[in-house]
Amino acid sequence: MNRGIGGKEPGARRPASPAGSDFGSEQQDEVFQNLLALVLAVAATLVVYLALAVGFQVPPLAGILGRAPDTGLPWSVAVMLSRGLLQPLNFCIFAVGASLLIVRFWTLRREHQAFRHDYIASLAAARGAPDGLVIGEAERGQPLQAVRQIAEEYPGTLPLLIRRLEAGSQRLAEGGDAAEVLAVMQAVADNDRKVTEGRYTLIRYLTWLIPTIGFLGTVIGMGQAISGFSGVMGQVGRGGAELQALLQPLLGSISGNLGVAFDTTVLALLLSALIVALASVVQSREEGLLSSIDDFAVRQFTSRIAVPDVGTRQLSEMLQSALMGLAQMMSQGKAGEGEEAAGGGFRDLAGLLAAQGEQTRKAVEAMTAAAEKISKAIPQGPGRP
């Protein structure tokens, strides 16, 4: 357990940061990622829209106002350039969600790279080896020192694996046994899962917003078409003009409005399907990362802790106290009374153990409970070593 990190000598330890500062750092990272995604989305929307407008010689302002003719334009181009403001807006919302997922996917590379540090890789490599690493009573503080040396390489928020190991190593250095270390690391794991799930709240909202805007465009387009047709029928009913003369310009307007209605819905459904697919890929990769960290924390770290648990320490202290008392009584006895003193000493030992029987029973129960916690935490399966 005396291996250095990257060949460095142990130096000044990174001070443990309070939970509030970790939370504030995470909040700052999340705000930065949201702003970065928004900037990327707006830039991507402007680039796509202007590129299409210049390439197909369509005035950009006319397209935004919905006055650009779509004659001779491909459907994908006409949807963006001649269907009004809702289509670029919907594309921009999709770009925000896609940018968030891409940024999140990129940050996962940093999380996976944490497994490649020398100390962490040595824990994984030593599993199953005859001389595998064991964390005994004399090595309580070494894991914390090694993890904090790794943490010095990260100026901002620590990777999830490093934070998990730092929390467990801190409890181990403070005198905790394997069961207590495991409980601390499981509490950190539960918090990590809640934070990870909360990051997808905005993605779920955008997934709902995209088809909602598409439905809004459908309602607006059909409403405009029905409104124009109702006006024509009113003029015909008053005898102001012939139906055929009024229908000719009206049909073009109705077809354009219906095109806005249906194209908005089609585009919204396509964009919504794409963002759901991207979200499922990123979320599954993130869940896999959390599962890998859970497995490492239990199988590669907690299972190597060989320090006495609370029950064992209590039982050891009671036996040590009783034996010291016996030795003291025997040393004070006379030489001729040695046999009698020895018999009395053993009776005193039995009396001490009987008097502390309840504490002994509790100590044994604590030992059993700790063993059960460790055995339940280690995954069992046909393919597991």
Please choose, from the candidates 305, 337, 16, 20, the residue with its C-alpha nearest in 3D space to the C-alpha of residue 183.
305
Residue 314 shares a structural domain with residue 288: no
Section 158-185 average pLDDT? 90
The answer, yes or no, to whether residue 105 has pLDDT greater than 70, is yes
Structure tokens at 249: 């310009």
* Cβ atoms 40, 92 nearer than 8 A: no
Residue 383 covered by a domain: no
d(CA 61, CA 52): 13
Looking at the domain assignment, is residue 339 inside a domain?
A: yes
How many angstroms separate the Cα of 133 from the Cα of each of 41, 124, 192, 304?
49, 10, 27, 7
Question: In this structure, are 259 and 322 located in the same domain?
Answer: no
pLDDT band at 207 (very low <50, low <70, confident <90, very high): very high
Of 307, 338, 354, the residue that ends a domain is: 307
What is the pLDDT, as a whole number, of residue 373? 61
Task: Name the residue with higher pLDDT: 157 or 338.
Answer: 157
Q: Is 187 within the bounds of a domain?
A: yes
Q: Which residue has the higher pLDDT, 8 or 97?
A: 97
Q: Which residue has the higher pLDDT, 88 or 309?
A: 88
Q: Which structural domain range is residue 161 located in?
A: 1-307
**Residues 317 and 226 both lie in one domain:** no
Mean pLDDT of 99-111: 92
225, pLDDT greater than 80: no
Answer yes or no: is 79 within a domain: yes
What is the C-alpha to C-alpha distance for residues 279 and 203, in angstroms, rounded to an integer?
A: 8
Q: Which amino acid is at 313?
A: R
Average pLDDT over residues 351-362: 56
pLDDT at 354: 55
Q: Return phi, psi of residue 305, to 5°.
A: -75, 120
pLDDT for 249? 59
Distance CA 58, CA 190 (A): 54
Residue 54's pLDDT band, with cuts at 50, 70 and 90, is confident
Average pLDDT over residues 83-100: 89
Whether the CB-CB separation of 257 and 225 falls below 8 Å is answered with: yes
Residue-level pLDDT at 6: 39
CB-CB contact of 66 with 85 (8 Å)? yes
**Percent residues over pLDDT 90 in the chain:** 26
Q: What share of the chain is helix, strand, coil (3-state, %, to 5)?
A: 75, 0, 20
**330 within some domain:** yes
Choose the most confident range, by mean pLDDT, from 80-84, 191-195, 330-334: 191-195
Instruction: Specify whether 223 is located in the same domain as 371.
Output: no
User: Do residues 138 and 172 lie in contact, with contact meaning Cβ atoms separated by under 8 Å?
Assistant: no
- Residues 138, 196, single domain; the answer is yes
Rg for the chain, CA atoms, rounded: 36
Note the pLDDT of residue 347. Answer: 54
Locate 182 and state its tokens.
Answer: 């495991």
* Residue 277 confidence (pLDDT): 94
pLDDT tier at 11, thresholds 50, 70, 90 = very low
Same domain, 303 and 323: no
Average pLDDT, the chain: 75
Place 341 in a pLDDT band, splitting at 50, 70 and 90.
very low
Residue with tokens 């044994």: 364
Domain boundary among 276, 307, 338: 307
Provide the domain count of the chain. Answer: 2
Whole-angstrom CA distances from 321 to 61, 339, 349, 361 are 90, 22, 10, 17
Q: Which residue has the higher pLDDT, 339 or 284?
A: 284
**Residue 70 pLDDT exceeds 60:** yes
Could you tell me what percent of the chain has a pLDDT over 70?
59
Q: How confident is the model at residue 1 (pLDDT cuts 50, 70, 90)?
A: very low
Cβ atoms of 122 and 304 within 8 Å: the answer is no
Same domain, 263 and 336: no
299 & 329 share domain: no
Residues 197, 290: contact at Cβ < 8 Å?
no
End position of a domain, from candidates 290, 307, 324: 307
The pLDDT value given to residue 215: 85
Alpha-carbon dihedral angle through residues 281, 287, 290, 291, given to the nearest 10 degrees: -120
Kindly tell me the burial class for residue 157, based on how many C-beta atoms sit within 10 Å of its own C-beta (0-12, 13-18, 19 or more).
Answer: buried
Asked if residue 380 has pLDDT above 70, the reply is no
Residue with tokens 């995954």: 379
- 210 and 283 part of one domain: yes
Q: Average pLDDT of 95-106? A: 93
Burial class (CB in 10 A: 0-12, 13-18, 19+), 179: buried
Question: Does residue 168 sit in the same domain as residue 116?
Answer: yes
Tokens, residue 168: 């467990």
pLDDT at 223: 73
Q: Read off the tokens for 146.
A: 């090694």
| Res. 159: pLDDT tops 60 | yes
Output the pLDDT for position 264. 80
The Cα-based distances of 312 to 176, 302, 303, 362, 372 in angstroms read 12, 17, 17, 10, 15
- Looking at the domain assignment, is residue 385 inside a domain? no
Are residues 257 and 322 both part of a single domain?
no
Within-domain flag for 41: yes
Residues 218, 322: one domain? no
User: Does the structure show a pLDDT above 60 at 384?
Assistant: no
Residue 384 within any structural domain of the chain: no
pLDDT digits (tens, 9 = 90+) for 284-309: 999 999 999 999 998 888 888 877 65
How far, in Å, CA of 143 to CA of 166, rounded?
8
The two structure tokens encoding residue 89: 């807006």
- Higher per-residue pLDDT: 367 or 31: 31
pLDDT at 190 over 80: yes
